Amino acid sequence: MKIAVVGLGYVGLSNAILLAQNHEVVALDTDAARVAALNAGLSPVEDKDATEFLARGGLTLRATSDGADALGDAAFVVIATPTDYDPQTNQFDTTSVEGVVDQVLALNPGAVVVIKSTVPVGFTERLRAQKGCDSILFSPEFLREGRALHDNLFPSRIIVGERSERARVFAGLLQEGARVDCPVLFADPTEAEAIKLFANTFLALRVAFFNELDSYAMVRGLETRQIIDGIGLDPRIGGHYNNPSFGYGGYCLPKDSKQLLANYQDVPQNLIAAVVEANATRKDLIAQQIAALGPKVVGVHRLVMKAGSDNFRQSAILGVIEGLQALGISVIVHEPGVSADDFTQAPLENDLAAFKAQADLIVANRRSADLADVPHKLFTRDLFGVD
């Protein structure tokens, strides 16, 4: 069976590799560098497992920028293009998804289209009506940046937004490539879209809760870890996903929680708005706590949210940098591999020794062995050493 996967970000790449273990997969992307990297057996995004799988070989996988080549005779087309949140419209920008659907309808109208990109609640049914096409499915992904292939190989669940034979076939393709059995749920399309947004917003809520617990402890002079350890002994709460940070960030949680809030336009709510607002409050407090220590130059160690990721878009540290600069504090940043063209918010110092020497105080969302020799300069809220 030939399957086309559109988009070579971490979602598209991980799905392409998963499916290419057993089927012919052609990945379609407009970025020539990503296409060339994949065809050379290299991962176009930072993902340890993807890098190892591609180096090992044995996959029936290639990449192209030719839409007809990828889509023309595919049985399934998996769409994994970005849907960034647009604050002007309070909606995801689904232009890329709609564009791929138009391509498929022009080149191969018999293909089953599976949307993996995150979309607003109700999008799939609206798109079906708009395009006059009922062969569009939604199947949410639950993947972590830097661990996307691992999470596809060891899924916690598989959800497909349709109750049909083709939905069962697609779920079977995902199960076939996985290393473990997991629950499979067939839901209606709109309910499947809601599952994705509510799941990620709950994770954002949990991050926000433990961050606000940590904020209270910082201001009151309490030991955060003692409190977290104690409440985590309740099995209903548990000792997971509880490590304080500068705020939730990355590609999914900020935009998904904002999109869910937008979907509440005509529904009374308090909690969802509070989750979104809590993140801004946390970043402001972190900046104030740092400023209270009186540094002249603050060094920010890493922009990325966690180890194994190459993405700093929507990283919480960006808000902290903005807050420090608003308070008149100079900031320098150490982020290897990032150039001044890619990041203009603060000066870069990618020589680690020079970075440590210049900074009075070093701010790190997560601890790093790189900073083991300057514990007296380190400001972090990382208590457990996990993402």
Active site residue ranges? 252
Give CA–CA dist 285/320, Å, rounded. 9
CA torsion 84-117-188-1 (nearest 10°) is 170
Q: In this structure, are residues 367 and 351 in contact, taking their beta carbons and an 8 Å threshold?
A: no
Give CA–CA dist 77/248, Å, rounded. 32
Burial group, residue 281, by CB count within 10 angstroms (0-12, 13-18, 19+): middle
Provide the sign of the torsion angle of the four alpha carbons 204, 240, 370, 211, taken in this order: positive
- Listed in sequence order, the residues at least 6 apart from 194 whose beta carbon sits closer than 8 Å to its beta carbon are 121
User: Tokens 């050379």 sit at which residue?
Assistant: 40
Task: Decide: helix, strand or coil at residue 203.
Answer: helix
The rounded Cα 302 to chain-centroid distance in angstroms is 17
